[in-house]
Amino acid sequence: MLDSLFISRTDAFRREVSKLEFTFDGVVYNPLDYAWDMFLRYEDLALSGDNGVMFMGMNPGPDGMMQTGVPFGARSIVKDYLGLSGTVSQPEHLHPARPVTGLEGRKDEPSGMAFWSMIRSIYPDCHDFFSFATVQNFCPLAFVTGDRGRNVTPDKLPRQERRALEEVCLDYLEFLVAHLHVRTAVAVGNYAYDQLTKVGCGRVLKILHPSPINPAAHRVWADDGRQVAEYLVSEGVLDHC
């Protein structure tokens, strides 16, 4: 069961990021608001073990956490591997190209499928993975713009707005690292690595982000991410592959 300090601090965090102002031409989604129920169900599972290892991504993907409230939360993974169900309501503002359909949609986030498929190939029972590790995101906000609802990552925001966002997120990250007693952090991508190195969380490792727009990711994450898994095993993060 989640402790009251985690819930209250995370509730304050979601309110803090919601108050930030952004000038880019698009829509900001905060799944910690409209998918709060699903997010807490996930955290109850993800924080059920030791939490000495923390994997950290950048921010929600359009067909991942933006829909499910779960980091790297591809719908089929959330339902079939993590075994979660719950309520996802509607955000106050929607981009016409990016509706929120929760777990009912058909599309899966490619990055989420790649990441969790790697974990599932080693730990068929997700409880075995969560007995020593957790998966979180640095920034809870998703940014979409343009006619097709293009995903804008936090590092592409105007400098002042990005810094204001990162300040709030770093404060929360410092809380997470201390509260969960993280000993090893695994950054999924360069941006997450840069943020993790700003806080005192022991050892920080980095793996390539499984983004489908990165040609190198197709090779590195092939075969259920075997190359990534072998690296993490060699570093003592995962047990075997």
Residue whose structure tokens are 């991410």: 225
Is the pLDDT at 33 greater than 80? The verdict is yes
Give tens-digit pLDDT for 16-25. Answer: 999 999 998 8
For residue 201, the model assigns a pLDDT of 80
Is the pLDDT at 72 greater than 70? The verdict is yes
Instruction: Tell me if 82 sits within 8 A of 189, measured CB to CB.
Output: no
Average pLDDT, integer, range 3-24: 97
pTM of the predicted model as reported, rounded to 2 decimal places: 0.96
- Return the structure tokens found at 138: 């640095």
pLDDT bracket for residue 12 (50, 70, 90): very high
Nearest-angstrom CA–CA distance, 2 and 8 = 10
Give me the amino acid identity at 49.
G
Neighbouring C-beta atoms of residue 99, cutoff 10 Å: 12
Q: Give the containing element (helix H, strand E) for 56.
A: strand 53-57
Q: In the β-sheet with 133-137, what is the strand arrangement from edge to edge?
A: 133-137, 53-57, 184-188, 203-207
For residue 241, the model assigns a pLDDT of 56
Interhelix angle for 36-46 vs 4-19, to 10°? 140
Q: What is the mean pLDDT of the chain?
A: 96
Give tens-digit pLDDT for 117-170. Answer: 999 999 999 999 999 999 999 999 999 999 999 999 999 999 999 999 999 999
